[in-house]
Amino acid sequence: MESNTRLGYTGLIRQHFGLLAAAYLAVFTGNLGQSFFIGLFQADISDYLNISAGEFGSIYAAITMLSGFLVMHFGPKIDWISPRTYVFSVLSVLILGVLMLTLSPWWGLAIVGLGLQRLCGQGLMTHFGSTLAGREFTVNRGRALGLVSLGMPSGEIILPPTIALLVTWLSWQQIWWSILSVLIVLWIMLLLFIDWPEAPRKKHDKNNQQDKGPSPMRELRFWMLIPMLMVLPITLTGIFIYQAQLTHDLGASATTYALALTGLGLSRFPGALLGGRWIDEFGATTLAKLYLIPFALALLIAAIVGGNMAIWILMLGAGMALGMSSPIGDTLLVRLWGREHLGQVRSLKSAFLVFSTGLAPAFLGFMIDAGISFQAILIGMLIFLVMTWLMAQAPIKEAHNSDQQ
């Protein structure tokens, strides 16, 4: 556990390098199960499995929804399983998933492998890193979560050009093995040489109701808070999936979109670092009321001005808000339900994240098919954002008055 001394980023890294490195690497490793990474190999995987793009999309949606349910089962176990054992288990299953996908001669086993990657990558690895940082730090929780959350945009920035470089002389399977090998070496070093904390509580007795912890899904405050925590991934998933319609309706170019997407990843860095610092200095509840403003303004301006400028404004505003969203959301969960139950509560957040990113494209697809312009869709997203913000004010106020650490 950390001391009660507030530290800057340099001092925090110096004193808690091992713990922060493990949490950061977990979030970075989770990129192997993220849609952007798997999407880079969609055509290769479809050819390898001898399935069409449409069949791949249907299979991908099905295993994504299933992994969301499994996260709700396996996510809470981090509250009573030691972090070293937990991450070793998740890493082992992730490795198994990659090997099944890249080596299996039968498409059924390969699809199971892809499902294990989604479960352990997007789901449990990311969940582990954020949970570990969120519960092991108190005074410096905001900065710790800000640093750890950088694992995701780091992967988005580093992996695509790395793959583009390797693809000229390696097969897609060999690329996956190469990236996985580097990560395995880093994990072995961390598993062997850093000082790992213990789990915050013992496994509950099924016959003892008091040991089971909270039931967030039975609490109104959970349902009032979760839409605000999901509004960014829900809206951005739709924007990413329907980028062609977005650029067409706004009168922007595909090249501008590609460049702005890189800008989104880069803008998450100041968002995360500034957000983490401001959480520690001003409080997560204060930031929770403000962090969506950059994206809200971006949605409004993009819908009004159009053109290439609209794409840049949209992506930069989204990046700033995204950078702050994870540290703020996880800190609110700790304040409301306590650090010893963070794994249980955050696993529900992770599951809802998976569900929402699976359902959002279908809903927007119906709107586009109905002839609704993307300018109107952006305004609809803004209205949805404002509604979720208003709903969340009561649990934010409760978190402000809470004495949980």
The 3-class SS string of the chain reads CCCCCCCCHHHHHHHCHHHHHHHHHHHHHHHHHCHHHHHCCHHHHHHHHCCCHHHHHHHHHHHHHHHHHHHHHHHHHHHCCCHHHHHHHHHHHHHHHHHHHHHCCCHHHHHHHHHHHHHHHHHHHHHHHHHHHHHHCCCCHHHHHHHHHCHHHHHHHHHHHHHHHHCCCCCHHHHHHHHHHHHHHHHHHHHHHCCCCCCCCCCCCCCCHHHHCCCHHHCHHHHHHHHHHHHHHHHHHHHHHCHHHHHHHHCCCHHHHHHHHHHHHHHHHHHHHHHHHHHHHHCHHHHHCCCCHHHHHHHHHHHHHCHHHHHHHHHHHHHHHHHHHHHHHHHHHHHHHCHHHHHHHHHHHHHHHHHHHHHHHHHHHHHHHCCCCHHHHHHHHHHHHHHHHHHHHHHHHHHHHCCCC
Q: In this predicted structure, which of 22-31, 102-111, 204-213, 215-224 has the lowest mean pLDDT?
A: 204-213
Q: Are residues 142 and 253 in the same domain?
A: no
* CA–CA separation, 148 and 336 (whole Å): 21
Q: What is the pLDDT of residue 2?
A: 54
Look at residue 86 and tell me whether its pLDDT is greater than 90: yes
Q: How confident is the model at residue 88 (pLDDT cuts 50, 70, 90)?
A: very high
- The answer on 183 and 39 residing in a single domain is yes
210 pLDDT more than 60: no
Same domain? 82 vs 116: yes
User: How confident is the model at residue 215, as a pLDDT?
Assistant: 77
- pLDDT at position 212 over 80: no
Digit-coded pLDDT (tens) for 217-241: 888 999 999 999 999 988 887 887 7
Q: How many domains does the chain have?
A: 2
Q: Quick one: what percent of the chain has pLDDT higher than 70?
A: 94
How far, CA to CA in Å, does 360 sit from each of 201, 391, 401?
A: 36, 20, 34
pLDDT range class, residue 3, cuts 50, 70, 90: low
What's the whole-number mean pLDDT along residues 82-93?
95
Domain with residue 309: its CATH number is 1.20.1250.20
Rg of the chain over Cα atoms, rounded to whole angstroms, equals 21
Backbone φ, ψ for residue 200 (5° rounding)? -75, -20
* Cβ atoms of 176 and 98 closer than 8 Å: yes
Pick the closest to residue 265 from 311, 318, 326 (CA basis): 318
Q: Residue 118 falls within a domain, yes or no? A: yes
Range of the domain at 388: 215-405
Q: What is the pLDDT of residue 308?
A: 93
Mean pLDDT of 86-103: 95
pLDDT above 90 covers a percentage of the chain that reads 39
The upper half-sphere exposure of residue 78, i.e. CA atoms within 13 Å in the direction of its Cβ, equals 35
Looking at the structure, do residues 180 and 123 belong to the same domain, yes or no? yes
Residue 210 lies in a domain: no
Q: Using one digit for the tens of pLDDT, what is the confidence trace for 130-178?
A: 889 888 888 888 889 889 989 988 988 888 888 888 988 899 999 999 9
Average pLDDT taken over every residue of the chain? 86
Tell the residue number behind the tokens 């349902």, with chain if given.
Answer: 223
User: Which pLDDT band, with edges at 50, 70 and 90, does 213 fall under?
Assistant: low
- Checking phi first, is residue 50 left (phi over 0); if not, alpha (psi -120 to 50) or beta? left
* pLDDT at 71 exceeding the cut of 90: no
Same domain for 172 and 272, yes or no, is no
Question: d(Cα 86, Cα 124) in Å, to the nearest integer?
Answer: 10
pLDDT value of residue 199: 79
How far from chain centre, in Å, is Cα 99? 24
Regarding whether 392 and 292 lie in a shared domain, the answer is yes
Q: Mark which of 203, 234, 259 sits at the end of a domain.
A: 203
Of 38-42, 244-248, 393-397, where does the model show the most confidence?
393-397
- Tell whether 387 is covered by a domain: yes
- Per-residue model confidence as pLDDT tens digits over 285-311: 899 999 999 999 999 999 999 899 999
The answer on 367 and 236 residing in a single domain is yes
Residue 14: both structure tokens together: 């110096």
Task: Report the predicted TM-score, pTM, of the whole model to 2 decimal places.
Answer: 0.82
* Per-residue confidence band for 22, with pLDDT thresholds at 50, 70 and 90: very high
- Both 267 and 396 in one domain: the answer is yes
What is the predicted pLDDT for the residue at 9?
Answer: 85
| Residue 36 buriedness (CB in 10 A; 0-12 / 13-18 / 19+) | middle
